[in-house]
Amino acid sequence: MLIIGIGGGTGSGKTTVVEQIISHFPDGEVAVISQDSYYKDLSHLTKEERTKVNFDHPNAIDFPLLCDHLRELRAGRSVLQPVYSFVEHNRTNETVLTSPTQVLVVEGILILTDAQIRELFDIKAFVHADSDERLIRRLKRDIAERGRDLQEVLNRYQTTLKPMHQQFIEPTKEFADIIIPNNKYNTVAVDIVRSIINERLS
């Protein structure tokens, strides 16, 4: 199994880039795990308390569970991946059966911050987009898809997203084998990553 870790700030386009990378692989050969599925279970908090949680700090992620699941998949065993609700700010009761595949892509803002997780990656990439571009994309997406409003996103950006990006996410660029520029759609960079995967698989 080849495991590829893809980090980068919120709105940089990680999910989009991953979809482009895997689009040419046959179904069943590739699986994607999002770090977002591994936000910690916050059922012990009220919804109001959960809205105040710092979701851009490494402590928000259940890295031990993610690490365990990656090791299980690498060993050829299936796992039950948690399902997260951005509307509820909490893990749901559902799980998704995820089976081992030839290629596994793991993406998330904080995915390159954890040393044990980094060691499991055969290839590490970082998706870069300028902060103004990321904020615009995040605003549009969170209002359209995640039940947020303008004030909420702007407030969270100033108080949490920006400082956490500078402190934890941007520094992980140094761990990346490849930096994918994504201020605009970048088919060349996506093709390069795809050919590296094909080369490693052959």
- With CB under 6 A as the rule, give the number of residues binding ligand LLZGTKA7: 11
Query: Which residue from 140, 164, 193 is spatially nearest to 54, judged by alpha carbons?
Result: 164
Q: What angle do CA 74, 78, 79 make, to 5 degrees?
A: 100
Structure tokens at 103: 């290629």
By CB under 6 A, tell whether 156 contacts ligand ADP.
no
By CB under 6 A, tell whether 12 contacts ligand ADP.
yes
Of the residues 4, 5, 7, 11, which one makes contact with ligand ADP according to CB under 6 A: 11
In DSSP notation, 68-130 reads HHHHHHHTT--EEEEEEETTTTEEEEEEEEE---SEEEEE-TTTTS-HHHHHH-SEEEEEE--
Q: Which is nearer to ligand LLZGTKA7, 39 or 63 (CB)?
A: 39
At its nearest, how many Å lie between ligand ADP and the CB of residue 46?
27
By CB under 6 A, tell whether 23 contacts ligand ADP.
no
By CB under 6 A, tell whether 106 contacts ligand LLZGTKA7.
no
By CB under 6 A, tell whether 5 contacts ligand ADP.
no
**Residues 118-149 as b or e (16 or more Cβ within 10 Å = b):** eebbebbbbbbbebebbbebbbeebeeeeebe
Q: Which is nearer to ligand ADP, 86 or 175 (CB)?
A: 86
By CB under 6 A, tell whether 130 contacts ligand ADP.
no
Q: Rounded to whole angstroms, how far apart are CA atoms 90 and 19? A: 25
Of the residues 22, 109, 125, 190, which one makes contact with ligand LLZGTKA7 according to CB under 6 A: 109
User: Which residues of the chain form contacts with ligand ADP (CB under 6 A)?
Assistant: 8, 10-16, 137, 141, 182, 184-185
Applying CB under 6 A, the residues found at the interface with ligand LLZGTKA7 are 10-11, 14, 36, 39, 55-56, 86, 89, 109, 161
